[in-house]
Each structure stands twice: as structure tokens, then as C-alpha cells.
Structure 1
Amino acid sequence: MSIRVGLSTVSVYPESTAAGFDWAVGLGYDAVEVMVGVDRDSTSIESVRQLAEGHGIAVSAIHAPCLLFTQRVWGTEPWGKLERSAEMAHAVGARTVVVHPPFRWQRSYARYFVEGIKRLERETGLTYAVENMYPWKARSTGRGSRSTEMYVPERDPSRGDYAHGTLDVSHAAIGGDDVIEMAERWGPRLRHIHLTDGTGSAKDEHLVPGRGTMGADTLLRHLVETGFDGEVVVEITTRRAGSREARREMLEESLAFAREYLGQG
């Protein structure tokens, strides 16, 4: 079967979650990943269910609210957020919950994170695909920049004891990581791709795939060659697009890129 190409609702921000569903259907994406916390609809199980049913499109994944700006979405207790994400996934037929490693200051959560993810997978029957993150970089007073590791137990979960993972190309760019090597470390545990791009900047660029330097085309070919049967989800930044037409062009270009290098063109 062909690999599905989905659209993350965060890709249309500052437009709404509902607009994300509109764009996905209108442009011919196969599925939607819901980023919980960008607006009220994204936090409501019933609203997401109605959006999926009303648009006639599958929800491939729920991205748990574990970003800095979603720290208070669904409360502040991290395990509760992951359990609530599972409720939404079951309600809309999604098979995957995307989750970031804990922040360094979430000490208790981090201490039990690996075993806790295993427990949630056993109890829910869902895939909790832990996503690679990146060092936080800041300009130093001298030459170059300094970086701080902000995620524990590790920012690169492909090196950890997880059953399933998400590979984000933009995050790999910041970390100076080779996406093919990361995919090979994951092996069959790799279940989810955030298709985007980057240039190695200190910023999390989330460029249209092909506009950066990460070899996103080579990654997609690698997935096909190795029999990847997970999900590919376009997760780009369009908030500076300037117009809806410019946003459309970016979303269309990303989908066309995915189709071409997955051999679906």
C-alpha cells in the first residue's frame, strides 16, 4: 500500500484547526495530524471528531500538547495530557500519539518517562511515537554559538529504549543530525515522519521540504526502499506566508514533493 501523506494542522497556523482540515481536503492530502493546543477546537475531542467526520478525512495522529506554548493545555500534569491524547485518538480512529521527550525541569516526569511510555502503549493499544528534539542554541559573546541540552533522558530518542519514534527533519537540522542515520537507528521502530526541512540554523525553521539542506528527498526514497509503513505528515511553518495564496502554494509544493519522492507522482 502507498504511504499516506498527511497534513499537520499546525502547518496552517495562525489559521484554525478547522482550516487545517479544509486545506487538507481541498489540496488532496490523505489524512490530518491534529496539534492539540493551537485553538479551542483542537482541545475538544468532540470538535475534532466532528471535523474529521464532516470533512471525510482520516486523522492519522494526535500530537500531544507538550510544546512550551501548550504547557497549560489540559492541565499541567504531563501524564494526564498523554492519557487525554489517547482518548482523542481512540475517539477519532487515530493510531498514533506524537510526544516530545520531557523538558529538563520536568524531573519526576523524565525519571519515569521511558517506562511510562511503555505502560501507556500497553494500556491504550496505541503507538506513542517519541519525537527527536534539538539543543537550544544562543549567540555567545565570542564567536559562534553555545547550546544547551533541554530534553531528558535524551533529545534523540532513536538512541533510547522506545518501541516507536517520530523523525522530525527540522529538529534534526538544528541538532546537526543525519536523518538517514537516525532512520537507520530507528529501523522498524520508526513509525512517523514530520516532513519539513531546515538549514542548520539555531531556529526551528520547519521549511517546505526541498528548500533546506537536509536531503528530505533522500529520506523519502530511503523510506520506500526500506519498506516503511508508517505515516508521513507535512509539518511546515506558513505563518509568514503573507497571504492565503502564498500559504496554498507552500502546502501544494510540500504535498507534491512528498508524492514525487515517495514514488506516488
Structure 2
Amino acid sequence: MTSHTQIGLSTASVFPESTAHGFAYAASVGYDAVEVMVGMDALSQQTAALRQLSEHHQMPVCSVHAPCLLWTQRVWGTEPWGKLERSATMAQALGADVVVVHPPFRWQREYAAGFEDGIAALEASTGIAFAVENMYPWRASSRRRAPKGMEMYLPHWDPSLGSYANTTIDLSHAAIARSDVIEMADRMGDRLRHVHLTDGSGSAKDEHLVPGRGAMGAGAFLEHLAGSAFRGHVVLEINTRRCDTREERLADLVESLEFAREHLGVKAR
């Protein structure tokens, strides 16, 4: 793992606190950068305000997560390509080099039909890497032994099977799909540009646990990356909504950063 690999914090990791709090936590804990989750928080949609936060906390933005979740379907309108173009514009203005995007939902058939070619065209026109994130088949129960369920994403929930130049692995999503993340990373090879470091137990819920608290072998996965040619970002995207106090949330963010540094072999800066 080279010294220029950044360990970032997703602003989603501090929800229900705000995007502004995400920058403050990242700076106080010692993260290298921030990933902005564009969501319902109005501040997350405002490039000028985000630039001010970045400058105030001396915290660079490494990536922008496009508003493509179910609960952000109406953020920046409903036209999906317009959302991605706007995400790229924000990334350029903030000095980020990655936009994280999910595969289309199955009901977005027109968008899905041209998705792979459209992503390649956006990358060519903007110079931004659109790192397509692994998702999962939706299943009603965690009792199933195999990852079979409703196919809710097109062309597929696993971007390692596509032709994308840049991809993202999220360990919580992989836990739902019962995917081996090391095998997925090997399929992606040098197309793996971005990691959402988290964890999961293998239930049907998208848990986003603190890394090391689930069953995904997060430490072994990071060690695999450290011994490979991976040169992307590692961003902590955990769920701290159950924390009763800010002190508990802070402790989870510290534990996550220390876990990442230990298994990547990266020293504190």
C-alpha cells in the first residue's frame, strides 16, 4: 500500500448529524479525506458550501457519492444522467477524482439499457472516474443459504461482471449478497478504484457495521489490497445511527480508522 492511498470518511457515517459534522469529525479524528454523500441534507447539495467546509477543516474531498439511493431519488431532479453530470461537476469543483454510483434499479429500464456505455462516455467527457458500486439481490429472509432473490438492479448488481473501467466494493453490500470480496477484487483487478470499508453479518439488512464487527473478513481483505496493486481510496462508510451520544459515535469513527490503518499498514499522519 503506497503512502498516497487516502483513508476517507463518508459523511453518511455521521447521520443523523449533518454533512458539516462529517467534515468536523474527519478532521478531529485524523482521516485523510471526506466522501460527500449527496442526500437530503441541503448542505450536501451545495458545492460552494462544501468547498468552504473543506477549506475550513483543511480536509480534502476525495469522492462524491451521487444521489442514486432509494431515499435520494428526487434529489437534483429525477433524471438519472442529469444527476451524474451534476455529481461530476461537483467533484471537479471540489478537487475529487471519483464519483460513486450504483447500478440502475430494474424499473429504470431506459437508463439501464445504456448504462455501461453512458458511464464510459461520462468518464471520457469529464475526466472523473465513475466507480460503479456492488449492490445485492433483494431477499426477504436471511435464512436463505444462497444469494437468490429479486434482481433489483440492471444490468447486474455485481459490477465485476461488467465492462466498467472503475468500480467500488462495499463490504456491507457484499455481505447481503454472500459475495467473497477478495474474489470480487481479483475479478476487478486494476478496475477497483474505490472501497467502502464497513462490515456485515450476512443478514438481509444493509448493516454497515464498524469493520471487524461482522463476518466479512474485513482485515484480511485490506491486507489483500495492501499486497496488491490497489491505488484507490478506502472510505469508511459505517452506520452510527444507534449511537446514543456523540462520544459513542466518535469512538466508532476512531476504531474504524485505526482498523483501516492497522490492516493496510498505513501509519498515522
TM-score w.r.t. length of structure 2: 0.95
TM-superposition CA deviations, 1:122-156 (whole Å, max 9, x none): 0000100000001111149xx75972110000000
In the alignment, is residue 225 of structure 1 matched against residue 232 of structure 2? no
Match of 2:153 among 147, 151, 154: 151
Range moving further from structure 2, 191-200 or 146-155: 146-155
In 2: Cα distance, 1:210 partner to 1:128 partner: 28
Runs (4+) of structure 1 exceeding 3 A deviation are: 143-146
In 2: Cα distance, 1:185 partner to 1:178 partner: 11
Give RMSD over aligned pairs. 1.3
Which amino acid in 1 is paired with 2:107? W
TM-superposition CA deviations, 1:18-41 (whole Å, max 9, x none): 000000000000000000014000
In 2: Cα distance, 1:251 partner to 1:16 partner: 15
Which amino acid in 2 is paired with 1:117? I
In 2: Cα distance, 1:100 partner to 1:205 partner: 17
Range moving further from structure 2, 106-115 or 37-46: 37-46
Note the 1:1-265 alignment, pairs <5 A: 1-2=2-3, 3-139=5-141, 144=144, 147-265=149-267
In 2: Cα distance, 1:110 partner to 1:242 partner: 40
- Structure 1 residue 227, shift from structure 2 partner: 2.4
TM-superposition CA deviations, 1:193-233 (whole Å, max 9, x none): 00000010000000000000101101111111012110000
- Structure 1 residue 4, shift from structure 2 partner: 1.1
Q: Which runs of 5+ in 2 are unaligned?
A: none
Which amino acid in 2 is paired with 1:48? L
In 1: Cα distance, 2:124 partner to 2:150 partner: 33
Report % sequence identity: 63
2:40 and 2:75 in contact (8 A); partners too: no
In 1: Cα distance, 2:265 partner to 2:250 partner: 22
TM-score w.r.t. length of structure 1: 0.97
* Number of residue-to-residue matches in the alignment: 263
